[in-house]
Structure 1
Amino acid sequence: MSDKKKALETSIRCPVTSEDIFKETIAELQDVYFKKIAPLEKAYSFEGFHSEPLTPKDIEAAPMVLLIGQYSTGKTTFIEYILGEEYPGSYIGIEPTTDKFTAVMSGASSKIIPGHAAAVSGDLPFTGLQKFGTKFLSRFQVSHMNKSVLQNITIIDSPGILSGAKQMDRGYDFTKAVQWFAERADLILILFDGYKLDISDEFRVVITSLRGLEDKTRIVLNKCDQIDQQQLMRVYGALMWSLGKIVATPEVIRVYLGSFWPSSKPPLKIKFGDSTDLLKKEQNDLMDCLRQIPKNAAIRRVNDMVKRTRQAKVHAYIISHLKNEMPAVFGKTKKAQKLLNNLKEEFVKIQQLNGLSPGDFPNPLVFREILENYDISKFKKLDKRLLSNVEAALSKDFPRLMQNFPNSYAEDSFPWSQKENGEDHLHSQATTSASHRPMPPRPPPRYTGSGSSSPDTQGASNPVGPSTLHYLELFNKHCDSKTRLISAKIASELMEGVGLFKEDLKDIWFIADAEDRGSLDSVQFEVAMRLCYMVKSGIDLKLAKEKVYNDLGLDL
């Protein structure tokens, strides 16, 4: 028996679980970060301009879900809906009740850890919160619960934002605190009350601060059973119009409709039942989204580290460029002011000189505000050794990590299917999505060979490595029966159903239609659809391409 066949049979008998992949990925990410990325960040004051250095706990922390919303939108009740019971320290009322940031985490027993203790604990990923000071830490707590659903996910409940002009002096920078959690979250849920839609000034500022994180942001329109279907349509339209003025993206953020009321409480009287079926489907969609978080956690960790590394690389180029522009002896103050005044133009120079992407550069106005507090003449020149290590991480280490992911995770990787006393909705079986987009069937076992054909790739016009094509059934349904090709029009419609930006779809099409034929065979269609869903989940297209080609045994 060949080595490839033995490896394939072993992968079928002993599937690699998501938990195994997560642990292995975290260990390798920590090694790459502390050896290659952190030294560059330290040398060029990355912490002062962007974010503090990561700790081992930051990298290995369980996936995080952040809830944001104005008071009385149902954030705390939503958590109870998920868990099946109240978490320690929670309180629900019609007035602004949640006045703290609360991290609901897994623990051996139910208990509350105050913020000051949590921020200095080496066992918790919250040491970075110390920079917000005593007043913030007094309004932060960790709530431990012995719930299996929390073994692989942490839920952050945030203080309710007051509506209208009724703002308060919290004693700490609330928006910066939200940003801190948002940058580390795997999913951000912004809750609105369908019965009293309102976006206050503070809420607007908070939503604006999430720019750049749209790929992991979702909207939840809660309490939708309190209005009839016609009113719901109007509220939905008003919400999208309001968000369109705040969220700087050409694409619409996914909005979930629902009424999340925990089964542990006496049932509420439903005022209007004409949207019951729709709300049930929408709620199931959101629960499916939450179930996917642990399975995708390892890939998102790699993706987030790639984004941070690219940011650190560009930052090093900026700092070293500014240093090189400074005179050796006289006129330093005048030159520094000129650089500050023309920072946007300097960014363009750096892009052109070093072939960097404009999307990796920071906001010049924000960067200038921070830069004014530094003496540019004391910056370091570019260290080619440090830069070489970062380039190696981007070109070798991260692509290698992506190639290590098998095509499927065992369904029992995480204890989402275990039943506990009480009813939590993440343990319910997934139901049919309200969306009609084609969803991939369960992927095949990991394939370790390359380029060899397989009898299981029925209808594939090119030889591929995996034992099964995920989208073969979809391809056979839409392709021309004679040419065995799927037209550009039909293929593009199926790709658009994933919900990507048009520019992303265009880039994916150029990769899939490598022969510039204007149509796709079964393997090319497979490449296109896999890339669509990977990019949709937040993975960089280059990394996604390398993984897909490796999984299919294709030559790059």
Structure 2
Amino acid sequence: MKGAVSICFLSLLLLQATAEEEEDVTSVLRDRSHIDETLRLAMEEKAGDYAAALERLRKIYHTSIKPMEQAYKYNELRQHEISDGEITSKPMVLFLGPWSVGKSSMINYLLGLHDSPYQLYTGAEPTTSEFTVIMHGEKIRSVEGIVMAADSSRSFSPLEKFGQNFLEKLIGIEMPHKLLERVTFVDTPGIIENRKQQERGYPFNDVCQWFIDRADLIFVVFDPTKLDVGLELEMLFRQLKGRESQIRIILNKADNLATQDLMRVYGALFWSLAPLINVTEPPRVYVSSFWPYEYAPDTSRELFKREEISLLEDLNQVIENRMENKIAFIRQHGIRVRIHGLLVDRYVQTFKEKMSFFSDPELVFQEIVDDPDKFYIFKSILAKTNVSKFDLPNRDAYRDFFGINPITNFKPLSAQCSYIGGCLLDKIEKAITTELPALLSSINSGKQPGLSSCEATGCGEKPKNRYRKN
């Protein structure tokens, strides 16, 4: 009996010693100096040049693109209104993925918030129930979603359309941080596959789509225990279609597995995501553990460190190219508005040509909307203008568009001219072909003034393939 008690006592001591050893390992904080170095947070930026370029971009949009956008009600077709806050906003990094995979811990790690009163709450259970926007401010404070939506100077006022229930689930956190001067982080509620969307009390997928449309970089985070793809995650990847260049897939908590098990999990993640991502080459998956503690012993520490630096370089590239990305985005938006204006103009002209004294206006236009190919609506646009067929919108969308906006509400483009303001089509053409490219050239010519010509151009190095593993 005494021998059995002794064995139990020794076992307890052994378990206690093992637990203390594991606690010592997890209590050792990792060196974060590589984050500041990779993101170049110590470098000072020329804020004046950036602000002047933003003001020029805002002026081009308001004088050359927005008039046609308003004249032909483009926002009712695509539901994406561009505000001044969106033009002047910082790049947005969006964190998506299942619950408790380490999204909030990753933000805490990047911002150095661990063990501070301001760190995002983390845990093994679903902890983030709100959309949390972490942004720069002069002092640390939280901002309610209702206040964020009401402030026209921010880029979040359009979120008011999702209702008060959602605004109660939106919160902003401001803090004076060097990284947040250049980028804004958005933490999202984790995907829970056994929960119906209506139980959230607001249109979760529609809100996610709003953030996806505006994100410059999208981190989709997984961990080795949550690789299953359910209906909600499948819907999320459908919403990400067309944004593959912004997506970065992260396999987090990788140091919890031995090397052999990690290889199997990596393969399982690819197998799960392959049907959801429609790209020729497989997506780039970053494998590491994004939290402040040291990697677990006997794991691939050097590999995890290199993967982390590679992801930080991607983030830094988005930060450094933020002005170019904004110009490209506004130009892309202008091209879509121009195509929409040309199409509405063609619908108006066709309607006037087919109308006669005895015609029924509703029947005539219904025939045009139901079969636009019969009247060469879309083909005429491709034939007369420099429009790619791949940029043409869905034809069915115009049936719904004109169902809300009668054709008689619109004037042809030839009538959208004034002696002082000029013609809408000429102004938007000039913005697309001349003004925005010239602004982009001026930014590129003065890019990275503090670097040598070799560092700024890469000295002829081949660009990295963001989808291929380096």
TM-score by length of 2: 0.79
Q: Would you say 1:192 and 2:231 are equivalent positions?
A: no
Counterparts of 1:367 and 1:248 in 2: how far apart (Å)?
27
Contact 2:369 / 2:398 at 8 angstroms: preserved in 1?
A: no
- Residues 348 and 172 from structure 1, CA distance in 2 versus in 1: closer, same or farther, beyond 3 angstroms? farther
Of the candidates 59, 78, 91, which is equivalent to residue 87 of structure 2? 59
Q: Deviation of residue 407 (structure 1)?
A: 5.3
1:315 aligns to 2:340 (yes or no): yes
Q: CA deviation at 1:391?
A: 0.5
Q: 2:104 aligns to what?
A: 76
Q: Judging changes above 3 Å, is the alpha-carbon distance between structure 1 residues 146 and 500 closer, same or farther for their aligned structure 2 residues?
A: closer
Over 3 Å counting, the alpha-carbon distance change for 1:165 and 1:56 in structure 2 is closer
1:211 corresponds to which residue?
Answer: 241
In the alignment, the residues of structure 1 paired with residue 186 and residue 193 of structure 2 have an alpha-carbon distance, to the nearest angstrom, of: 21
Amino-acid identity (%): 30
The verdict on how the C-alpha distance between 1:218 and 1:364 changes in structure 2, with shifts beyond 3 A counting, is farther
Question: SS at 1:442's partner residue?
Answer: helix
Superposition pairs for residues 343-362 of structure 1, below 5 Å?
346-362=377-393
Distance 1:53 1:168, change over 3 A: closer
Using the TM superposition, give the Cα deviation of residue 154 of structure 1 relative to its aligned residue in structure 2, in angstroms. Answer: 0.7
Which SS does the other structure have where 1:48 is aligned? helix
Determine which structure has greater relative contact order: mean sequence separation of CA pairs < 8 Å that are 6+ residues apart, divided by chain length: 2
* Structure 1, 368-377 or 57-66: larger mean CA deviation: 368-377
CA contact (8 A) 1:88 1:111 kept: no
Question: What residue is the counterpart of 1:172 in the other structure?
Answer: 202
Q: 1:403 aligns with which of 431, 441, 462?
A: 441
In the alignment, which residue of structure 2 is the partner of 1:394? 432
> How far apart are the structure 2 equivalents of 1:380 and 1:235?
59
Partner amino acid, structure 2, of 1:400: A
Give the partner amino acid of 2:362.
T
Q: 1:78 to 1:349 in 2, by over 3 A?
A: same
Q: Does 1:333 align with 2:322?
A: no
Unaligned runs of 5+ in 1: 1-14, 413-439, 445-468, 475-493, 502-556
Deviations 1:126-152 (Å, cap 9, x if unpaired)? 112112221111111111112121111
Distance 2:360 2:277 in 1: 42
SS in 1 for 2:163: helix
Structure-1 separation of matches of 2:343 and 2:122: 48
Match runs of 1:498-517 below 5 Å: 498=465
Task: Name the aligned partner's letter for residue 110 of structure 1.
Answer: I
Native 8 Å contact 1:165 1:200 kept in 2: no
1:547 paired residue number: none
Task: Tell me the distance in 1 between the aligned counterparts of 2:408 and 2:264.
Answer: 57
AA at the equivalent of 1:391 = E
Task: Give the distance between the partners of 2:76 and 2:323, measured in 1 at CA.
Answer: 28
Q: CA deviation at 1:358?
A: 1.9
| Kept in 2: contact 1:112–1:143 (CA 8 A) | yes
Q: Cα RMSD (Å) of the superposition?
A: 2.9
CA distance in 2, matches of 1:339, 1:84: 60
Residues 38/229 of structure 1: CA separation in 2 closer, same or farther (3 Å cut): same
The C-alpha deviation readout for 1:273-310, integer Å capped at 9, x for no partner, is: 34332222111111122223321111111111111111
One-letter amino acid of the structure 2 residue matched with residue 288 of structure 1: E
1:247 and 2:247 matched: no
Distance across 2 between alignment mates of 1:356 and 1:156: 35
Residue correspondences, number: 409
1:53-76 alpha-carbon deviations (Å, 9 max, x no partner):
322221111121111112112111
DSSP 3-state at the match of 1:90? coil
* Aligned position for 1:92: 122
Alpha carbons 1:52, 1:128 under 8 Å: kept: no
Shift of 1:117: 0.9
Match of 1:425 in 2: none
State which of 409, 417, 431 in structure 2 corresponds to 1:378.
409
Any conservation in 1 of the 2:254–2:289 contact (CA below 8 Å)? yes
Q: Structure 2: which amino acid aligns with 1:121?
A: D
Partners in 2 of 1:358 and 1:67 — Cα distance? 33
Q: Does 1:280 align with 2:293?
A: no
CA distance in 1, matches of 2:79, 2:368: 23
Alignment partners' CA distance in 1, 2:102 and 2:467:
30
Greater fraction helix = 2
Q: What is the match of residue 109 of structure 1?
A: 139
Query: Which residue is equivalent to 1:443?
Result: 456
In 1, the alpha carbon distance for the partners of 2:253 and 2:284 equals 17
Q: Is the 8 A contact 1:101 1:157 kept in 2?
A: yes
- The separation in 1 between residues aligned to 2:268 and 2:194, in whole angstroms, is 17
- Matching residue's letter, 1:41: E
The Cα shift of 1:337 comes to 3.7
Residue of structure 2 equivalent to 1:32:
60
Displacement of 1:371: 4.7
1:98 positional shift: 1.0
Output the CA distance in 2 between the equivalents of 1:348 and 1:162: 46
SS in 2 for 1:230: helix
Greater CA radius of gyration, 1 or 2?
Answer: 2
Residues of 2 paired with 1:243 and 1:299: CA distance?
31
Q: Which residue is 2:459 aligned to?
A: 470
CA contact (8 A) 1:70 1:161 kept: yes
Whichever residue aligns with residue 54 of structure 1, its letter is: I
* Structure 1 position 224, deviation (Å): 1.6
Q: What TM-score do the two structures reach when normalised by structure 1?
A: 0.67
- Structure-2 separation of matches of 1:302 and 1:227: 43
Match of 1:188, SS state, is strand
